[in-house]
Amino acid sequence: MISLGTSNAVILPIVRSPGTAMERKNSRFSFARETPRTNPYKWATVLDSGGSVRTVFVDFQKAFDRVDNNIVLHKLLQRDVPHFMIKWMFSCLEGRQQRVKVNDGFSNWTQLVGGMPQDSWLRPLIFLLVIDDLQLDCLVHKFVDVTTLSELLDNGDHASNMTQYVESLSTWAQTNKMIINRSKSKEMILGSLAKQSILFLTVQSDVIERVTTFKLLGVTLTNDLSWEAHVNSICAKVAPRLYYLTQLRRAGLSSDELSYFYLMVFRPVLKYGCAVWHHGLTVAQSQKLESLQKRALRIIHQIAYGMPYESECANAWVQFLSVRRHELGKRFFFARLRNQTVVYMTFFPNDETHIIFRLRRHRLSYTMDQN
């Protein structure tokens, strides 16, 4: 354990350096390279052109608890972080001990040389510092301890190099004293490559399971990029909440209190991550979600039985779920558009005047027809 003395210091805000969006993306200080929300976008782009995608969802075993303090110090020094800030950070990490209690007995105290304090802002920040230099020759999406490797193959190209990428990942993990959880790491193949005979990936002689469905950050992805599995997952989560809502109604709660419970506990499940999946829903899937809100409103407002769904929403002062999801998607898009510092800006195509003019002319014609 490398010990650094503490000193009084003024903690200064870290200001993002100027430059273009691409320059900031390639900056050595860009901890989060790309958020996993961009996964479906890039996958769909390749699949639409007839290509294939081979992806691996990587899980690190007890990732935060295995962060080595000496590795953290080495990476801080590599980034030319001011010395006083390193002293301040390690004053929070050094001298930490733990022991185990079983019934009335205690073990001896053990000095910790790694791991991050629970409920600390330093916990995710330091882990981002550790994982930032994980760079492979394939597309890597990192969101704190969630890492996804994606290999994009052109139409007709079935020569996959994912085995080499996984080996490079294993080497990085060993160097940084991380352990890949082979039982929780999964592989998924999208496109025509799934019909080919592809060897399974292995990590230290353990085979990585190949799946057709995977839940990434709470959003269920499938190898055909449909959202039926995700909608079914939402329905399964909502069913117990409908029961709780019924029990609260029987307990005598007022409609206002039940509405508050619905908005705070029930509805967030129905729209979580909707910026990713809303525009890919079929009409039947959208109606399936609307039916859940319809059932909830009829529990809250018993007088609503027999009323049209539009009237029920107006009576409860709530929007259709489809309208709400659409608004949240627009808000998310324009928030990213206004923020020139995020890596999403590199995904937008260049302005093409003839396309914009054609869209505007189509909208103008549509408006005139309505009038």
Alpha helices in 97-159 (DSSP H): 122-131
The dihedrals phi and psi of 207, each to the nearest 5 degrees, come to: -80, 135
Largest separation between any pair of C-alpha atoms in the chain = 82
Rounded-to-integer distance, Cα 298 and Cα 2, Å: 63
Closest by Cα among 191, 188, 184 to 206: 184
Tell me which residue has tokens 């550790």.
130
SS3 114: strand
Per-residue pLDDT at 194: 83
What is the residue-wise DSSP string for 211-231? Answer: -SEEEETTEEEETT--SHHHH
What's the pLDDT at 187?
93
149 near 169, Cβ under 8 Å?
yes
**Residue 281 and residue 230: Cα distance in Å, rounded?**
10
Residue 37's pLDDT is 53
Output the six-digit token pair for 272: 């979580």
CA distance 217 to 273: 9
Q: Quote the distance between the C-alpha of residue 230 and its chain's center.
A: 14
Report d(CA 249, CA 266) in Å as an integer. Answer: 15
DSSP letters, 90-107, are: HHTTTT-EE--EETTEEP
Helices (H) and strands (E) in the chain, counts: 14, 13
Q: Take residue 182 and report the two structure tokens written for it.
A: 């082979």
Digit-by-digit pLDDT tens for the chain (371 residues) are 433 433 333 333 333 333 333 333 333 333 333 444 556 778 888 888 888 899 999 998 888 888 888 888 888 888 888 888 888 877 777 777 888 889 888 888 887 777 777 777 777 888 888 888 888 888 888 887 788 999 988 887 778 889 999 999 999 999 998 888 888 899 999 888 888 888 888 888 888 999 999 998 889 999 888 899 999 999 999 988 999 999 999 998 888 899 888 888 888 999 998 888 888 899 999 999 999 998 888 888 876 567 788 888 888 888 898 999 999 888 888 877 776 555 444 445 555 545 444 544 544 444 444 44
Question: What does the DSSP assignment read for 300-343?
Answer: H-GGGTTS-HHHHHHHHT---HHHHHHHHHHHHHHHHHH-TTSG
Instruction: Decide: residue 88, CB within 10 A, 0-12 exposed, 13-18 middle, 19+ buried.
Output: middle
Residue type, 272: Y
The pLDDT of residue 340:
57
Pairing of strands 186-190, 97-98: unpaired
* Per-state percent for the chain, helix, strand, coil, to nearest 5: 50, 15, 35
Which two three-digit tokens encode residue 267? 């509805």
The answer to whether 52 touches 370, Cβ cutoff 8 Å, is: no
230, 202 contact by CB (below 8 A): no
User: Per the confidence metrics, is the pTM higher than 0.75?
Assistant: no
Q: Please report the pLDDT score of residue 339 as a whole number.
A: 63
Residues 198, 200, 203, 208: is their CA dihedral positive or negative? positive
